[in-house]
């Protein structure tokens, strides 16, 4: 088995904190979507981030995270830190939302040319190793700050629509967070799929 020793990965669980905290720190701030079962996007994104960090570190990668608690982090802070650390890839973790509750599925977003291979690798594993269907083609070219302002290959992963009852139920799993028993296998599987996509990106 090839490992990820020597690789530096920046994980960015989306959102965090409260709207008022974010506006006070950043000037403007988005708190993200929420699901009837899952609750706020910021919590499940962080939970998946903890699982993903465990997988990456078990493969000997060095992992940094934009946040490890429920706090507001400005977009500029996220990319500035990743750029200053000189990481190899940037992975932003999110869930999607839509006024139309029938819209569902996972997607991986890229902006720079060098982002696309990473987005494709992660999307392929999400579709192969989770219950997610793709949102449209699943691969989206978007001018998001974290993709545009990062100096390394970056992907923004939308792990389903929390506004869709099926995706929401899947992300919710058994309701448990990282470190709680019994294990929330659904979130673990989502994290593993992203990890395996990263592994394939580096190891071909």
**How would DSSP label each residue in 130-172?**
SSPPEEEEEEEE---HHHHS-SS-EEEEEEEETTSHHHHHHHH
Answer CATH for 8-203 from 3.40.50.1820, 2.60.40.10, 3.40.630.40, 3.40.50.620? 3.40.630.40
Classify residue 176 as left (phi > 0), alpha (psi -120 to 50) or beta: beta
Query: What is the model's pLDDT at position 2?
Result: 62
The answer, as to whether pTM is greater than 0.85, is yes
The CA–CA distances, whole Å, from 57 to 50, 63, 127, 155 equal 11, 7, 23, 19
Going residue by residue through the chain (204 aa), what tens digit of pLDDT does each one get?
Answer: 468 999 999 999 999 999 999 999 999 999 999 999 999 999 999 999 999 999 999 999 999 999 999 999 999 999 999 999 999 999 999 999 999 999 999 999 999 999 999 999 999 999 999 999 999 999 999 999 999 999 999 999 999 999 999 999 999 999 999 999 999 999 999 999 999 999 999 998
The structural domains of the chain, with segments of one domain joined by +, span 8-203
Q: Around Cβ 40, how many Cβ atoms within 10 Å? A: 18
Counting every residue written for the chain, the total comes to 204
Helices (H), strands (E): how many in the chain? 7, 8
Query: What is the model's pLDDT at position 140?
Result: 98
Query: What is the model's pLDDT at position 157?
Result: 99
Query: What is the model's pLDDT at position 20?
Result: 97
Structural contact between residues 50 and 11, judged by C-beta atoms closer than 8 angstroms = no
């Amino acid at each position: 088995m090839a490992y990820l020793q020597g690789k530096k990965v920046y994980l960015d669980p989306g959102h965090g904190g409260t709207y008022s905290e974010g506006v006070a720190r950043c000037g403007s701030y988005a708190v993200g979507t929420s699901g009837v079962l899952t609750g706020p996007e910021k919590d499940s994104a962080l939970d998946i981030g903890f699982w993903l960090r465990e997988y990456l570190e078990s493969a000997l990668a060095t992992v940094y995270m934009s946040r490890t608690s429920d706090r507001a982090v400005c977009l500029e802070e996220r990319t500035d830190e990743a750029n200053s650390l000189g990481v190899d890839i940037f992975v932003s973790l999110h869930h999607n939302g839509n006024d139309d509750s029938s819209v569902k599925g996972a997607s991986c977003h890229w902006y720079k040319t060098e982002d696309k291979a990473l987005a494709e690798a992660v999307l392929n594993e999400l579709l192969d190793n989770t219950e997610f269907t793709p949102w449209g083609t699943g691969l989206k070219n978007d001018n998001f700050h974290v993709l545009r302002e990062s100096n390394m290959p970056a992907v923004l992963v939308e792990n389903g629509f929390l506004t869709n009852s099926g995706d929401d139920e899947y992300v919710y799993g058994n309701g448990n967070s990282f470190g709680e028993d019994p294990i929330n296998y659904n979130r673990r599987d989502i994290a593993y799929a992203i990890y395996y996509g990263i592994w394939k990106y580096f190891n071909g």
